[in-house]
Structure 1
Amino acid sequence: MTEHVQQGDVGSTTVTIVDPALAARAESAAAALAAGQVASKLTAQDATLWGPAAEPEASIRLSWTTLHRSSRPLIGEIETLRAELRSEGVERVVLAGMGGSSLAPEVITGTEGVALTVLDTTDPGQVADALAGDLDRTVLVVSSKSGGTVETDSHRRIFAEAFREAGIDAASRIVVVTDPGSPLAELAEKEGYRRTFLADPNVGGRYSALTAFGLVPAGLAGADVARLLDQAAGVADALAADSPDNPAIRLAAALGAAHEDGAEKVVLADTGSGITGFGDWAEQLIAESTGKEGTGLLPVAVEGPQAPGFADHGADATAVAVGPAADGAQISVTGPLGAQFLLWEYATALAGRLLGINPFDQPDVEAAKKAARSLLDRPEGGQAQEPAFTDGAVQGFGVTAANLTEALTGFAGQATGSGGYLAVQAYLDRLDDASASLLRGELAKRTGLQTTFGWGPRFLHSTGQYHKGGHQNGFFLQITGDAEEDLAVPDRPYTLGTLQLAQALGDGQVLAEHGRPVLRLHFTDRAAGLAQLVAAVQEAIR
């Protein structure tokens, strides 16, 4: 550390700007934010902070600033329901939810070491594995803010039928979390589901960690959600303070100053925080909030401080340690999970002000959904594409190449030196095909580009907004694969496998319309195709 290190410290919650040059650049931005009283205005839910165009949306999206108080009544309600379920022998919690409805509960339960089965996928194999669990002791939490999320509705239909076929009253095993007046709320009442938790409608999905969306599934699984709210409450006053030492002001100022100097990527590595999977949650918050109007901060969640892209980051990225500072880190953020949730929400909203965008809308998310729905309406025509090549267990689409090595060589050559980023999008089973995530590090190391990895369609509810709305310099590697067995969606004219492929093709179509290169590789045999791809990456990109 040097005398230039700047730190916002609130008990055990700190933001330290380790890099002296970045600290100096952030100082004036922090002072301006403090002088403008933006922290206290944000806490007071002042919707004018992001300009007139953002005001209508911001006015109905700011209740998250007081959730550490307003969510308190949920604690007893969750514990009562959990006790009821356990008295009936129901101890296994399966969560059907996408984006903000699943990322926070997964971080909370992972950090506390309690079991939660998360379904944020349309992969038939992964859903089948969840169904294979003990249904006699399973409760399904169906979580959707809009109430119309296609993935979540599919999961609900599949599990309801499985409960009935097992002789279990499906309604008694389904708990709903949704917004008041949503189609899901109406359905829950009609079907007589076990319990419906209505969340605060004035909180957007990615800011909903401390609402019913984050607390109900985590609490039913056994996480101490009261402690989580206590942690947030412990830092709330400091985050509302109009001071350059406010940790959220400090973090927002640093990210804004770095972006102004061309560091449009934010590389997140856990350095011993004790929090499990925090980067995945922060990824959605940052990408969806800032990635629009051709600007934004691209979050890159990496495997650790030694991973490619962190210590060796270039001038286009800011390395942030979630935990103590590590080699290469420019910023270090420490604190317990509840405090970090609130800190990053404040900082991201303030960074949106510095970037001149509305951090509460997601104007480009719907495009991929519409394209997927269009393909579902004509699944045969939409998916009957001829591959450019077939090489062993891998078929290539969207490329002029004779084989896999040639396709990867051309793709990497196009991206390398562009100043952009690579995005690996794996429409696979994130449990059985988990080794696909190794591609992120391999590609980052070999191309020198910041490289993200997302499981499809999960990332569509996260970084998908940035891909279409942020800096238009991404290169996209889609991976799809044949499933050993498909799953029908009851009362719907498609299977999960059909839906999964339609989502990949729909997003690829929208990216192509934005002029972005998309290489899709399809595995006719997943295990063989994945091994072949890893070997080809090592051979083709040196």
Structure 2
Amino acid sequence: MSLGFRATGLEVPEPLRAQLTGDDVAARLVRKDPTLWGPEAESEAAIRLGWLDLPATSRELVGRLAELHAELQSEGLDRVVLCGMGGSSLAPEVICRTAGVPLVVLDTTDPGQVAAAMADLERTVVVVSSKSGGTVETDSQRRAFIGAFAAAGLDEDRIGARFVVVTDPGSPLSETASAMGARAVFLADPDVGGRYSALSAFGLVPAALAGVDVGALLEEAAELAEQLAEPGNAALELGVALGAGFHTGRDKVTLADGGRGGRDTGIQGFGDWAEQLIAESTGKQGRGLLPVVVESADAPGATGPDALLAVVGGDPVDPGPSVGVTGPLGAQFLGWEYATAVAGRVIGINPFDQPNVTESKENTQRLLDAGFADEPPLATIGAVELRAANGLLDGVDLTQHDGVSLALEALLAAVPPRGYLAVMAYLDRRRDARTGELRAALARRTEHAVTFGWGPRFLHSTGQYHKGGPQTGAFLQLTGAYTEDLPVPDRPYTFGTLHTAQAAGDRQALADRGRPLLHLHLTERAAGVEQLLDASCAATWTRIGSGEHR
């Protein structure tokens, strides 16, 4: 297998290519020139370009991680649970899926999913990963595991030895790790933002402890790093193509694995990582590129008049503009990070900040402090309660047996020109996995892009784009009743309360922007999911307000 990173099928306007060549962008980026994105971004960029050095600087982790992995294995600790969100969890998940190595990724506050992760404690080591050290989901999960280990009979010292911590120097979590006697603490480079941290300790520690050869990843990235100062290198060309697509009306980037998990590379689930990188980096100031992760290159919604299809590990496909991006996983990580930084320059934004990410978090905290207002449903049909914001369902007769279909049709009708529909599932992505089928089902019903995200996971990813990007989204939020709940130790709320507050806080942020929002609550999850899939796949939908059918 060639280690080369290649992007084929690119459409790059020659004047734009010449401009970037004349500005020496490739070499300046490798030199970590913070002026590339304009004076307003300079201070942030100056402390966010350390990812360019990671193929070399992260080599020092390899030996230490191999020793720690062997130590854990010798003690029978062969099950790794990663507690992390966004940039702290997405890269390790892709690395382990691609390598075929088990890793339990806990990036949710859904109590059922949290409870399932706390199985097989006698074999479990927990990696707690947070750049800021104050992520509420990760802190809650850490507390829950401490309680579970104590309930299993472990004393304080033995509990500490079950934890490995990854964080930034000086963060609250680094102090907590010392106080709890964590077995190992890995301090990451503070000049690397979370979504650019795939090749840092955040990406490598969980993967290595799970059994992946992370040294090979760094070698793959290092080969590409040697080429990045050259004008016309493949990562630069990819970034220019993405930015040019934005300026020519292709502001959606659909991401698909090539072939069976990646024809050249075996890469699995790369789109979930790239989604965060692209959405958080470009979705701000009312502009940006919307990443749309699709099931395959020929899935519903993979192509469209406002979309560029990127096939990871495969060739471009016809019809429609598409690019094929080949190369091994380590090179893919570095190449897409570089390309996204270049696209940010072309689009005219700072690719290293995320000004809107905290909004839903702040709403969540207010709701946890003040409590929830009762919001009776507009209707209950089967196992589905219907609620809506901004008059979305005004005039829709929800008393009909197909009221859920009518509500979904009203939402699709509310997607503006060149807009998108975001499905946001605050559910258990293991037990409620079939919910993910809604993306393709709804994409068959509209010409607009349809995205899917598990909440609260997506709040650390596309959540930035939803609030800071172009206000052209319509939103379907799904929540569900809990058959079990878990306390968050030493906190005045449960995981179910926190999960509910996160969904409500996100609804508030979107409703305050006047966006079309449909909230469907499943009073019984399995039945509700089946009901939604039936409604989304109905053979005939009545088009709201026109009496037409399709």
Q: Could you say which TM-score interval applies, normalised by the shorter chain?
A: over 0.9
How many aligned residue pairs are there? Answer: 520
Q: 1:240: how far off? A: 2.1
Correspondence for 1:139: 125
2:175 equivalent to 1:186: yes
CA distance in 2, matches of 1:201, 1:11: 29
Alpha-carbon deviation of 1:165?
A: 0.9
Match for 1:78: what amino acid? L
Aligned to 2:450: 451
In structure 1, how many angstroms separate the alpha carbons of the residues matched to 2:529 and 2:28? 50
- The residue aligned with 1:196 is 185
Specify the alignment match of 1:366 in structure 2: 358
2:87 maps to what in 1?
100
User: What amino acid does structure 2 have at the position aligned with 1:394?
Assistant: V
Choose which of 208, 226, 230 in structure 1 pairs with 2:215: 226
Q: Distance in 1 between matches of 2:86 and 2:3?
A: 31
For structure 2, the residue ranges without an aligned partner over 5 or more in a row are 543-549
Matched, 1:265 2:252: yes
Point out the more displaced range, 323-332 or 344-353: 323-332
* 1:159 partnered with 2:148: no
Aligned-residue sequence identity (percent) comes to 59
Task: Please show how residues 7-406 of structure 1 align to structure 2 within 5 Å.
Answer: 12-17=4-9, 22-23=11-12, 25=13, 27-132=14-119, 134-168=120-154, 169-241=158-230, 243-244=231-232, 246-272=233-259, 273=262, 274-310=266-302, 313-325=303-315, 326-328=317-319, 330-379=322-371, 381-382=372-373, 384-398=374-388, 399-400=393-394, 401=396, 402=398, 403-406=403-406
Query: When the two structures are superposed, what TM-score results if normalisation uses the length of structure 2?
Result: 0.93
Give 3-state SS (helix, strand or coil) of 1:303's partner. Answer: coil
Aligned AA (1:385): E
SS of residue in 2 equivalent to 1:308:
coil
Amino acid at match of 1:14: R
Q: How does 1:418-437 map to 2 (within 5 A)?
A: 418-437=417-436
The alpha-carbon deviation at position 34 of structure 1 amounts to 2.2
Shift of 1:11: 5.4
- 394-403 vs 522-531, which moves further: 394-403
Cα displacement (A) at 1:409: 2.3
Task: Write 1 or 2 for the structure with the bigger share of helix.
Answer: 1
CA distance in 2, matches of 1:538, 1:418: 23
Match of 2:546 in 1: none
Instruction: Output the CA distance in 1 between the equivalents of 2:9 and 2:298.
Output: 19
Q: Is the 8 A contact 1:34 1:249 kept in 2?
A: no
The question of whether the paired residues in 2 share the 8 Å contact of 1:269 and 1:303 is answered with yes
- Counterpart CA distance in 1 for 2:107 and 2:360 is 17
Q: 2: distance between equivalents of 1:332 and 1:405?
A: 37
Alpha-carbon distance between aligned partners in 2 of 1:406 and 1:289, rounded to the nearest angstrom: 36
CA contact (8 A) 2:279 2:291 kept: yes
Q: 1:411 maps to which residue?
A: 411
Deviations, residues 301-344 of structure 1 (Å, cap 9, x unaligned): 1000110112xx22211111112223335211100000010000
Q: Deviations over 1:153-176 (max 9, x none)?
A: 110000011001111221110110
Query: How much is the aligned-residue C-alpha RMSD, in angstroms?
Result: 1.3
Aligned partners of 2:421 and 2:476 also within 8 Å: yes
State the partner residue of 1:525. Answer: 524
What is the distance in 2 between the residues matched to 1:176 and 1:410? 46
3-state SS, counterpart of residue 452 of structure 1: strand
Give, in whole Å, the separation in 2 of the partners of 1:278 and 1:344. Answer: 11
Query: What displacement does 1:30 show?
Result: 2.2
State the distance in 2 between where 1:320 and 1:410 align: 30
Residue 424 of structure 2 aligns with an amino acid whose one-letter code is Q
Could you tell me which runs of 5 or more consecutive residues in structure 1 were left unpaired when the two chains were aligned. Answer: 1-9
Question: SS of the counterpart of 2:241?
Answer: helix
Normalised to the residue count of structure 1, the TM-score between the two structures is 0.94
